[in-house]
Amino acid sequence: MPCPCPAVPSPVVALAGWCPLSPAGAQSTQLLVEPPWTPAVLWDRVTLTCQGSGTAGSTTWYKDWRRWWQEGPDSFTVTESGTYQCERPSSGLSRPVMVSQDWLVLQVPARALLEGDTVTLRCRGWQDNPVTRVRFYKDDKELRGSLKNTELSLLPLEMHNSGRYHCGGLVRAGAKASAPVTVTVHELKPVLVLEGPPELPEGSPLNLSCLSTPSPLRPPAPLLYRFYRDGQLVGGPQGSPQLLVPAVGVSHSGNYSCEVRSKGGTVRKSSSRLGVTVRSASPVCVPAVPVANATITPGPPALQVCPGDPVTLRCSVQVGSAPVTFTWLHNGHEVARGSLLELGAVDVGHSGTYQCVATNQLGQDGHRVFRALSPELALEVTPQGTTGHHWNTVAVNVGRTLLYLLLLLAVIGGCRWWHCRGG
């Protein structure tokens, strides 16, 4: 019976190790190949293994798009070239795998290829016969390289490396060209997944997984993983894509993210953030308003002092939870910290309005800060004897005027006496 899938004109690099999801979310049938190269070559003693839902021994095999083996085994060694597929009752039909017997074959690793991978394409002659004057082509355009080397390295892989490749060269039968093979480079796009709900009770385990791609592809080349909480490194660098905390505390709450790097470090991608909240096992009582009623002593709101007087102001709160931080403001500008403000011997420059600000943190995380402002205290530094000095000035001026009059009278009297005597 013909296979219901359309023919595939060329092998696909992710073919043998791909594990796609059906629209309903169920795992599809996958066909694995050993050695893990695509296309496979018959002289490598290729083994095909069918994986999918259903009981063992219920596999249906297709060769060259026709039913070939009903209720066959899950695995067998290939003895004939062709295109193979397998089918399981509950998971459907797999993608095709090509086994070649051509004179010249270009092979690509049969796994998912991600950004940053190091991938080698190899041009092989039939039965591993020598190949000379090898040339590689991408999308029918020749790539610059050695005419002696039978391998082409793509490192590190980038998105523009996707395309159709083939090779040409001289084998025992003469000049030959391989069938094209499609290379698909997947974007390195990590996704952070939490096993369980995002809100956990204190003491429960935390299990985070950093998936390098959104679809469950066969694992690519080794990657390095790092895990962050609120921007701080909490795990890695490591080869495992999992972060496990056996028993979490309240301090483990925060926004988690993961970073994936290729082994050479040429490609680095970060996931979006995932919020995790850890509930405290025992209730913690904190005041709704942690600081209130900040006051300054001495009062009242207006205070008059003389130059040289020692002045000390104290700030206190009637309701609050320790630790409380006090900040002093003079005319709206911060001048000191602490519950006491010692001005010492004051002068006119100390005049103005004073106010204290009391602050503290609510909760163990320290992320919520409350504060209270005291009423303003008006401090006036008045110079001593300002009123008496004014009257002293008036008295001196009056005395000077009287003295001037007396002198004027004396001069007039002296002149009259002089004139009288002369007469």
Reported as a pLDDT band with limits 50, 70 and 90, residue 283 is very low
Q: Report CA torsion sign: 73, 77, 80, 85.
A: positive
Farthest CA pair distance, the chain: 171
Q: Report CA torsion sign: 298, 303, 304, 305.
A: positive
Residue-wise pLDDT tens digits, 161-204: 999 999 999 998 889 999 999 999 888 888 899 988 889 888 88
User: Between these two residues, 145 and 257, which has the higher pLDDT value?
Assistant: 257
Residue-wise pLDDT tens digits, 315-359: 887 665 567 888 989 998 898 988 888 888 888 888 899 888 888
Reported as a pLDDT band with limits 50, 70 and 90, residue 260 is confident
Residue 395 pLDDT > 70: no
What average pLDDT does this structure show over 305-320? 80
- Domain borders along the chain are 30-185, 191-279, 291-381
For the entire predicted model, the pTM comes to 0.52
User: Between these two residues, 247 and 322, which has the higher pLDDT value?
Assistant: 247
CATH topology (fold) of 291-381:
Immunoglobulin-like (2.60.40)
What average pLDDT does this structure show over 78-85? 92
Percent of the chain past pLDDT 90, that is, above it, reads 28
Choice among 283-297, 319-333, 370-384 with the minimum mean pLDDT:
283-297
What average pLDDT does this structure show over 130-152? 85
CA nearest to 131, candidates 151, 101, 153, 107 = 151
Q: Report the C-alpha gap between 158 and 188 in whole angstroms.
A: 10
Q: Report the C-alpha gap between 219 and 241 in whole angstroms.
A: 11
Please determine whether the domains at 191-279 and 291-381 fall in the same fold group of CATH.
yes
CATH topology (fold) of 191-279:
Immunoglobulin-like (2.60.40)
What is the per-residue pLDDT for 25? 40
What is the rounded radius of gyration, in angstroms, for the C-alpha atoms of the chain?
46
Q: Rounded to an integer, what is the distance from CA 156 to the centroid of its chain?
A: 24
SS3 401: helix
Q: Report the C-alpha gap between 254 and 258 in whole angstroms.
A: 13
CATH topology (fold) of 30-185:
Immunoglobulin-like (2.60.40)
